Each structure stands twice: as C-alpha cells, then as structure tokens.
Amino acid sequence: MSDTTVPDQGGERLATDLGASVSLLMRRLRAASPQGELTPTQRAVLARVDAEGPSTIAALARAELVRPQSMRVTVGALEERGILARSPHPTDGRQVVFSLTEEGHRVLAEVRRAKNNWLAVAIAERLTDAERRTLAEATALIRRLTDA
C-alpha cells in the first residue's frame, strides 16, 4: 500500500484502534518505570545515546525533533545527575559529545527492567496460552509495519 492509497472504513477503524492501544500500552509502560526517575524526553535521550553512542546536543535535538535550547536543558539535567558525561568531540574541538556513565547504564537498565517486568506479569496473569500465541503473532506483524 502506498502513501496515496486510501484505506477502507474497516482499515481506518483498525488503524485508530491500534494507535490508541499502542498509546495506552506506552503510557502503562512509562507508569511502570521507577516514579520520578526520568521524564519521557530524558528516557528517549538515554535510549538514543545507548543505541547510537556519544552524541552532541545538536544531533540529539534533531533526532528528537526539539530545539537545541530545550535539549540543552534535558542533557544538563542528566549530566547534573551523573547519568551523562561530556567529553571533547573527536574531530571538532569546538563541540562536546555526551555519553552514558556507569550510573546512566544502571538507571537505563532499571527503567527497562521495570517496564519489561510489568509487561511480562500482565501477559502471564491476564492472557491465556492461546492469547499469548496470538499476541506473539501480532507483535511480529507490528514489527513488520514499523520496518522501514
């Protein structure tokens, strides 16, 4: 299906329901994280630095679609807590890059562990074996939808 293809009414309803369900799931996962530990933007920055390696404020701002001034505040708060550390840019002496500290790795692992634990318990307690198999199939389909 291309970007110009118009879905039928059933397809639109499915898209709406799926989007709402995924949004609710994401809110529940955020709520399962240690309370007050990190804001959603801080979690996004940590996950990006963890996945992509050290980064500048400008690159993080572009990736997260925020202004550099806003990203500077986010990164500053993480640096103040010892979660991110600055170092000289490897090729541009005018810039600095930020990377995860040991504390940053610990905090990120704790947040992920809490989310995964909540979801695993919810799946085990609320779904039957057949529903868990269906969820596994749906997860594969959602992954296929999101592949670039």
Q: Please, are residues 118 and 139 in contact by the beta-carbon 8 Å criterion?
A: no
Q: Give the residue numbers spanning the domain of 58.
A: 34-146
CATH code, domain with 56: 1.10.10.10
36-87 confidence digits (pLDDT tens): 678 888 989 999 999 999 999 999 999 999 999 999 999 999 999 999 999 9
Query: How many distinct structural domains can be found in the chain?
Result: 1
Task: Tell me which of 6 and 13 has the higher pLDDT.
Answer: 13
Q: For residue 97, count CB atoms less than 10 angstroms from its CB and return exposed for 0-12, middle for 13-18, buried for 19 or more.
A: buried
* 12 inside domain: no
Q: Please, are residues 114 and 34 in contact by the beta-carbon 8 Å criterion?
A: yes
3 state DSSP class of 89: coil
Among 8-12, 33-37, 46-50, the range scoring the smallest mean pLDDT is 33-37
Residue 37 pLDDT: 73
Element spanning 86, H or E: strand 84-88
